[in-house]
Amino acid sequence: MKGGFSLLQFIELLRIGGILLLVTPIAGSTEVVKQGKPDTGGCSLLDSQLPGIYLIRDTEWDEPKTIRMILRNNSSCSVTLTITGEQTIVKPGGKISQPPLPVAEDGASVVLRYKVNNVKEPRAFLDYWPYGDTVSSLTLNGGRSIKFLVKAEHLQRGRQIAVSFNYEWEGFSGRPGVEHLVYSPSLL
C-alpha cells in the first residue's frame, strides 16, 4: 500500500501545523483575561437597520462649491460635537431663529468641525477648521439630526470626511485616547 498526500491535504497540514507552532510559544507566556461587554452607557439603536451615528448627503441642497451633509444620531444617547458660532433653524415660512446652545434642535444648520482625508494618503485625515479658534460644544440628542456644509472638493475623487464625536456620558472630551469618528460615504 502506497501512502501519500494530496496537495490540499499537505496545505491543510501546514496550515494547522503553522497555527500550532505560532500558538505554542505564545500560550505559555500569556494570561487569559476575561473581557466584559463594552461600555455603551446604556445606548441602543433607534432603527436597527442603520448605524448609531451616520452621515448622508442632503439632496435638497444645490450649490456647486459646497455639499450639505446631514449627521443623524440613530441612538438613544446624546452625543457632543465641536462647532463654531450658533445653530440656525429655518422655520416653516422662512422664519430664521437661533436657539441658544448647547442642545441642537432637530434639523439645525451648524458650522461643524470635521476632518478630511489626504489625496495622496487616503487613510490620513486632517482637521479642517478654517473658522479661527472659537469653538464650543453642541449636544445632539438621540433621534435628531443636524446639517452642515462641506467644501465640494473634500468629497470629490474618492475623498471622504470624518466627524469626531463623544457620547455625552463620556464627557465633552471623551475618555483619554478615545475618539469616535463617523465617516462619509464616497459621494462623487
CA 27 to chain centre: 35
**Cell numbers placing 161:** 470626511
CATH (residue range 53-183): 2.60.40
**pLDDT tens per residue across span 3-36:** 554 555 555 555 544 444 344 444 444 444 444 4
Burial degree of 4 (CB within 10 A; 0-12, 13-18, 19+)? exposed
Q: Is residue 135 pLDDT above 60, yes or no?
A: yes
Radius of gyration of the chain (CA): 24
Does residue 185 have a cis peptide bond before it, meaning omega lies within 30 degrees of 0?
Answer: no
Q: Which among 27-31, 52-56, 122-126, 133-137 has the top mean pLDDT?
A: 52-56
The pTM assigned to this predicted structure is 0.71
